[in-house]
Amino acid sequence: MNTGINSGDTAWILISTALVMLMTPAVGFFYAGMVRKKNVLSTLTMSFVLLALVSVQWVVIGYTLSFGPDMGGIIGSLKWAGLTAVGQTPNASYAATIPHLAFMIFQMMFAAITVALIVGSVVERMKFSAFLIFSLLWATLVYDPIAHWVWGVGGWLRQLGALDFAGGTVVHVNAGISALALVLVLGKRKGYGKDNMEPHNIPHVVLGAALLWFGWFGFNGGSALAANGLATSAFVVTNVAAAAAALTWILLAWRERKPSALGFATGAVVGLVAITPASGYVTPLAAIAIGAIAATCSYYAIKLRMRLRVDESLDVLGCHGVGGMVGAVLTGVFASTAVNAAGANGLLYGNPKLVLIQAAAVSVTLVYGFTVTWVLAKVIDKTIGLRVTEKEEDVGLDMSQHAETAYALR
Amino acid sequence: MNTGINSGDTAWILISTALVMLMTPAVGFFYAGMVRKKNVLSTLTMSFVLLALVSVQWVVIGYTLSFGPDMGGIIGSLKWAGLTAVGQTPNASYAATIPHLAFMIFQMMFAAITVALIVGSVVERMKFSAFLIFSLLWATLVYDPIAHWVWGVGGWLRQLGALDFAGGTVVHVNAGISALALVLVLGKRKGYGKDNMEPHNIPHVVLGAALLWFGWFGFNGGSALAANGLATSAFVVTNVAAAAAALTWILLAWRERKPSALGFATGAVVGLVAITPASGYVTPLAAIAIGAIAATCSYYAIKLRMRLRVDESLDVLGCHGVGGMVGAVLTGVFASTAVNAAGANGLLYGNPKLVLIQAAAVSVTLVYGFTVTWVLAKVIDKTIGLRVTEKEEDVGLDMSQHAETAYALR
Amino acid sequence: MNTGINSGDTAWILISTALVMLMTPAVGFFYAGMVRKKNVLSTLTMSFVLLALVSVQWVVIGYTLSFGPDMGGIIGSLKWAGLTAVGQTPNASYAATIPHLAFMIFQMMFAAITVALIVGSVVERMKFSAFLIFSLLWATLVYDPIAHWVWGVGGWLRQLGALDFAGGTVVHVNAGISALALVLVLGKRKGYGKDNMEPHNIPHVVLGAALLWFGWFGFNGGSALAANGLATSAFVVTNVAAAAAALTWILLAWRERKPSALGFATGAVVGLVAITPASGYVTPLAAIAIGAIAATCSYYAIKLRMRLRVDESLDVLGCHGVGGMVGAVLTGVFASTAVNAAGANGLLYGNPKLVLIQAAAVSVTLVYGFTVTWVLAKVIDKTIGLRVTEKEEDVGLDMSQHAETAYALR
Amino acid sequence: MKKIEAIIRPEKLDAVKEALEAKGHHSMTVYDVEGRGRQKGIQLEWRVGTYNVEFLPKIKMEIICADDACQMIIDTICAAAETGEVGDGKIFVSEIQNVVRIRTKESGKTAV
Amino acid sequence: MKKIEAIIRPEKLDAVKEALEAKGHHSMTVYDVEGRGRQKGIQLEWRVGTYNVEFLPKIKMEIICADDACQMIIDTICAAAETGEVGDGKIFVSEIQNVVRIRTKESGKTAV
Amino acid sequence: MKKIEAIIRPEKLDAVKEALEAKGHHSMTVYDVEGRGRQKGIQLEWRVGTYNVEFLPKIKMEIICADDACQMIIDTICAAAETGEVGDGKIFVSEIQNVVRIRTKESGKTAV
Ligand SMILES: Nc1ncnc2c1ncn2[C@@H]1O[C@H](COP(=O)(O)OP(=O)(O)O)[C@@H](O)[C@H]1O
Ligand SMILES: Nc1ncnc2c1ncn2[C@@H]1O[C@H](COP(=O)(O)OP(=O)(O)O)[C@@H](O)[C@H]1O
Ligand SMILES: Nc1ncnc2c1ncn2[C@@H]1O[C@H](COP(=O)(O)OP(=O)(O)O)[C@@H](O)[C@H]1O
């Protein structure tokens, strides 16, 4: 009955999918802890709703655009719309030993979390309706094409030989640059740089970070699409890079003042981001280096962003964009066919060209992601408007968008 | 050594069991966020304690009553009491490729969560001691028999051909109707409809919903009892139905006022409930329909309940009962042997009879669950009393039942 | 390519590793809920940071010291430093069907959580810098050697025939006794026994306990290093012992006053601890006995500790030390080769000698753990100092060590 | 004008609010406080045994009213907040010199 | 000396603080309260339908000041806290007999 | 009768409570507030760099007492709450016209 299905691989991909699913609400808690009390539910809901929204979009059209039969290297055809022909038997081009549906839903969770990452930049001021429309369009017009280019059979970046094991460019660089584009249209929060904008609940941030770390084992480990040595290797380097980055971050902060919980959590996430593209190609020692370098770059990038007074509020670009770029480029440095025969050697193993290919893939994502997002944001802004009114912003989005308050006094 | 044990299937059932275990404290957080601050720990503890209580009950007697050698289609014999003869080798009648103990503990978690669902109806006023006694009796006299009828080898509803992949009737309809019966005896909360009964911490509700969604992959996916195409299919439709229901719910609310976080979380859970009986038999597109229909029914059912001023406090019947019924009946509509050869075709595939069988299984559960629960509740009420005193209710159950307060000021 | 790798076993060990990883932040929440509001982030960070710190230590030197080629039964050589020779193919001496890296990272998580357990004794007063240095040294000088003795190929306690399935002595007895030694040097909290030291957020404690219970399935179930009957058996007894212990605890408390959420959560953890060494060797009924006995011992041990006015603040010794000792000794009583042919029979099955061997292994751990920790603590105290200043303690460690406050008012 | 500060049991808030409402008084400001008085602390459950909490949760209700409404309000609160056990709370009365309604800038009695 | 107690909308805190700062007044104490007044309760979303919340979140600001600064402070608060809609809040003024600075034990006007 | 409102450092609550207890004064009501005064805001750690918090956590303690106990209580609080650094807080004293004990309806001095 199970034509070629391996139960161990299937178990691993299913549980990995569940782990990645958890990351979407987890990123909600990670972000919600950093906003003011009046915007907690808004932030949580903006993340969590994407799991719902993108799940339906993916079934209807997203999966076929991203992974459906290739049309000119650019996009998938509509042949798999509504999951027609996507069933319980494997699709060998993507994963020969698990049901095609398992590959489909694993990828679905990637699409959902990617959109959810963008939330971090627009918290505390974006209209819920506009956000839903933006997300639907962004998933369809930005995420799906890029996913096709990098991972789809026939996708042009894949042909080029770019390595992106679990989504450094597709997910993180993409979300980071799009977050910037969106925020440039949306504008700063009222009172930014003047009013008190304290993180209201840092334990929520820590909870989010813990669940993200946990979920990331599925994100990277699952990207091997089998429960084998490669999955294990990806799992190991994921953990080690997160560890190295978190330690690096608190040491950088300590040099200047104090090592904070917020910094620790941020560093961990940056490490997880940075190892994502590299996770199927590098050794544990390389992972330590990648984590440490990415944390340093991200740390100073956020410093710069703050000095420029851009209210890219929770640093999606600074964490995910920068982390993803550093990771993608360092994949070009540290990749080794000793880890993954199906990969390639990087600079350190005598193949400097890989760095260029990686940089090219990053650049394409930056340009495409920024441009399309900016246009999308402008169009929505001119039509239904991106932002809540000033008064709604004052009162808070929990009340104005959802008619709720997160915490009652009794 | 492992006679016929498949490691992939075993890994999947073990992790699924862990996922379902997490649902019991998760439902505690889901509920606890909706009560007043003075009843938080009471609500959390009432849920979580059932994991402990039912685990021991299940080992001693519950498993053998539910799944032990059949006696007349009605109940299991006591041959497997204390797990005698339940060991590391598979029991082929239930699951041929995993240890019998794995099947046993997977089912244990279902029994625990089912009782925990009922908590939602009695929060803020039921005596902890009475609740423990009720739960023990209910698990033994209501859950175990119904589980035997539907899932036990030789169970009479199973013979009838009723389809209940992961517990739409056994778990959800059963918990929902029993919650109603219990509450009719227990009575309303003091001040219901007059005093302020704001949900005290909606992030807790969101956390609970996120963990429930996560855990439900084990609930439904694990019910395939193997890591195969069917498990994958169940996993996929679970996610999709939850997504569709959550979106439907916030759209319904939006038409009237605002889309709330509380509504989103509720909708997601209703979708998860509704797909439960259907999850091994339907396609992803059918799952979208099931989610959307169930959310609509549940939405209006709760409206009705509120208009009737019945204090079935957190709508166990409205969410789980209604969701379960809709799901069970729609299984009769959408089931397809193309998804699961061991299932049956439903109305849409030319077999209207299945709808009737499904409705019959639901009705039996409604009648049995309601009657026995009502009698149980009456007996406990007349003997030790179901309710705390008025003063204890005023002060809150955290203080009066547990001598604790959930949050200290410093 | 996968020489002898079993995908089901690998899937199980990877997910078990992820589950154990989650336990480190989980223990952070478990502890953080019990401290005052001014020390929440300090407590959370002290736990979570160990995941990062020990992960790097383990890659560099910890794994090779613990599991590397044996030197005289005492310690591993440095041959596997930096994970040299630890790759994707199995190491048959440890686990023949999973990648060596999978075994490595599974064990890494054990090292991390063990150090994190100690946090409970020193909360609200230990300097963050001193804590990091202590942890690094303790992991290297205490944990790694003991892990080698008990689990390393050639380790002398392993040769002796001591049974410790998942770390009763290595992890729990070790952490418990070391916590005591550390606290004897560190001293009481200012105002201990006089000032108000209410647990500030009991839902955090419940969340921590729920995630610990969830993660423990990986801890014990994963210790079978395969997805088979033994893993299932370990999984089952883990759940049952936790259940029995939690129930026992609230019954003990109820006899005296009230059954609290805090007591329930504590009891559950003690049950999980106690079954840890026994989990691969005993039946579910024995697990009920072990859980109930351990809960009782631990309950009265903590009572005694409080009467002695030792500020071993969150009872690492009382919960983990006592639970681990009871579990280790009862393994000697209840172990049966019917459960695990590779184990041994205990007292009840005609082999009283096993009790002595178990007691010996416990004693060695007590003596070694206490002595080395005490010396370590003294050295750090005399050099950089273990404790924050009195003023820093007054203001709280969140502010003084991390320049943060956990919760903002708005 | 007078300021009435009533410290009451948290569980009595709804009853007091409704009693005042019934007497036609609607406006008030409330907040959570902790108090010590004749009522000794309470024992709460620790993991094992108990610990003592000396500050008990109370609610403070502040009402600004015209001089002639003062006694009625005090009586109403007393009646609704009483249980007869230690810890029922206290009412403090003081003088307010002026009241300003921010919205309209009215001041004095008409602003109450 | 006077005590000014202003009950304002939470979202106006920053504006009021800055307005006072601009007028040279820096010191104050604030806390969260809940209030009822002319403003009717608000309807919040339940899972289905809504429920009514009668106590609305407000912030109470307390300022002790010299008699002659009092009117200026009141005016500044009124100007900054006003939206013109019901619920803007109120200001209560009362007499303070003495002020002591804990650090220096100064008392009276110099301690304000 | 007098009302003493003391704004103190949160970490000094236990010390002040014990000092008053030692002097025989037991009753009080406390709550969390945030304050600004001479003490400048503090810098807290953000993910990178810091942000400024202008309102600092303080505790407000309210004690109603007979006129003759007033000075003793003020002195005791001052002694126990002082650190000598900016931010130690202030004490405000005002007049209370009446006190009512809800439980017994006693009023005036005997109710304090
Ligand atoms: N002298 C006081 N100063 C300030 N608050 C007081 C004073 N006396 C009582 N309170 C407040 O009133 C509450 C109830 O007082 P208590 O003496 O316990 O009860 P009762 O008035 O019934 O004897 C206390 O918890 C405290 O908040
Ligand atoms: N008499 C009063 N006593 C105590 N607090 C009051 C009183 N009147 C108003 N308040 C406080 O002022 C707030 C605003 O009052 P409200 O009547 O709603 O607005 P407005 O003053 O704009 O008409 C209330 O929420 C309440 O906290
Ligand atoms: N004029 C005032 N009005 C209201 N509260 C004040 C006033 N002055 C000081 N406070 C309160 O007292 C606290 C301590 O005052 P601060 O000036 O910082 O310290 P110090 O009194 O030691 O100079 C402040 O945080 C504030 O809560």
How confident is the model over A396-404, as a mean pLDDT? 97
Query: What pLDDT shows up at residue C1?
Result: 43
> Closest-CA residue in chain F for C197?
F14
Residue A202 contacts F where some CB pair is shorter than 8 Å:
no
Nearest Cα neighbor of D9 from D58, D80, D56, D77 is: D58
F positions 5-64 inside 8 Å of D (CB): 17, 26-31, 64
Query: What pLDDT shows up at residue A1?
Result: 42
Residues lower than pLDDT 50 in chain C:
1-2
Mean pLDDT of chain D: 95
Of D45, D47, D54, the CB nearest to C257: D45
B36 in a structural domain: yes
Query: What pLDDT shows up at residue E39?
Result: 82
DSSP category for residue D87? T
Query: What pLDDT shows up at residue B16?
Result: 98
**Residues C76/C70, Cβ–Cβ less than 8 Å:** yes
Query: What pLDDT shows up at residue E38?
Result: 87
CB contact under 8 A, B194 and D14: yes
CA of D32, nearest ligand number = 1
The nearest CA of chain E is from the CA of D48 a distance in Å of 35
What is the percent of chain A with per-residue pLDDT over 90, rounded to a whole number?
A: 98
Query: What pLDDT shows up at residue D38?
Result: 87
Residue F32 contacts B where some CB pair is shorter than 8 Å:
yes
Whether the predicted pLDDT of A208 surpasses 80: yes
Least confident of A1-5, A318-322, C94-98, D60-64: A1-5
Per-residue pLDDT of C243-300, as tens digits, reads 999 999 999 999 999 999 999 999 999 999 999 999 999 999 999 999 999 999 999 9
The answer, yes or no, to whether any atom of ligand 1 lies below 6 A from the CB of F109, is: no
Per-residue pLDDT of C53-62, as tens digits, reads 999 999 999 9
Per-residue pLDDT of A168-194, as tens digits, reads 999 999 999 999 999 999 999 999 999
A134 in a structural domain: yes
CB contact under 8 A, B202 and A407: yes
The answer, yes or no, to whether any atom of ligand 1 lies below 6 A from the CB of F15, is: no
Whether the predicted pLDDT of A247 surpasses 90: yes
Least confident of A406-410, C317-321, E37-41: E37-41
A141 in a structural domain: yes
User: For chain F, how far is it from start to end, CA to CA, in angstroms?
Assistant: 8
Q: Chunked in runs of 10, what are the mean pLDDT values of chain B (410 residues)? A: 84 98 98 98 98 98 98 97 97 97 98 98 98 98 98 95 95 98 98 92 98 98 98 98 98 97 98 98 98 98 97 98 98 98 96 97 97 98 98 97 94
Whether the predicted pLDDT of D19 surpasses 50: yes
**Residues of B with CB below 8 A from C261's CB?**
41, 44-45, 48, 402, 404
- Measured by CA distance, the residue closest to atom 26 of ligand 3 is F35
Q: How confident is the model at residue A2 (pLDDT cuts 50, 70, 90)?
A: very low
A409 in a structural domain: no
**Residues of F with CB below 8 A from B410's CB?**
10, 13, 32
B319 in a structural domain: yes
The nearest CA of chain F is from the CA of C399 a distance in Å of 8
Q: Measured between alpha carbons, how far is B116 from A171 in angstroms, rounded to an integer?
A: 38
The answer, yes or no, to whether any atom of ligand 3 lies below 6 A from the CB of F90, is: yes
Tokens of A332: 């070009």
**Residues A2/A195, Cβ–Cβ less than 8 Å:** no
**Residues of A with CB below 8 A from B7's CB?**
7-8
Please state the domain count of chain C: 1
Query: What pLDDT shows up at residue D112?
Result: 87
Encode chain B in three state secondary structure. Answer: CCCCCCHHHHHHHHHHHHHHHHHHHHHHHHHHCCCCHHHHHHHHHHHHHHHHHHHHHHHHHHHHHHHCCEECCCEECHHHHHHCCCCCCCECCCECCCCHHHHHHHHHHHHHHHHHHHHHHHCCCECHHHHHHHHHHHHHHHHHHHHHHHHCCCCHHHHHCCCCCCCHHHHHHHHHHHHHHHHHHHCCCCCCCCCCCCCCEHHHHHHHHHHHHHHHHHHHHHHHCCCCHHHHHHHHHHHHHHHHHHHHHHHHHHHHCCCCHHHHHHHHHHHHHHHHHHCCCCCHHHHHHHHHHHHHHHHHHHHHHHHCCCCCCCCHHHHHHHHHHHHHHHHHHHCCCCCCCCCCCCHHHCCCHHHHHHHHHHHHHHHHHHHHHHHHHHHHHHHCCCECCHHHHHHCHHHHHHCCCCECCC
Q: Look up the CATH number of the domain holding residue A204.
A: 1.10.3430.10
Query: What pLDDT shows up at residue A148?
Result: 98
Residues 6+ apart with CB under 8 A from E61: E4, E5, E6, E7, E8, E13, E16, E28, E29, E30, E77
Per-residue pLDDT of F7-29, as tens digits, reads 999 999 999 999 999 999 999 99
C410 in a structural domain: no
Q: State the closest ligand 2 atom to the C-alpha of E87, by its place in the atom list counted from 1.
A: 19
Sign, Cα dihedral of C352, C355, C358, C362: negative
Per-residue pLDDT of B310-357, as tens digits, reads 999 999 999 999 999 999 999 999 999 999 999 999 999 999 999 999
**Residues C149/C157, Cβ–Cβ less than 8 Å:** yes
CB contact under 8 A, C5 and A258: no
What is the percent of chain A with per-residue pLDDT over 70, rounded to a whole number?
A: 99
A396 in a structural domain: yes
Whether the predicted pLDDT of D88 surpasses 50: yes
Hey, is E9 helix, strand or coil?
coil
Mean pLDDT of chain A: 97
Query: Domain span at residue C123?
Result: 7-187+194-402
Of B210, B228, B233, the CB nearest to A7: B228
User: Does the reported pTM lie above 0.90?
Assistant: yes
**Residues of E with CB below 8 A from A396's CB?**
11
The answer, yes or no, to whether any atom of ligand 3 lies below 6 A from the CB of E28, is: yes
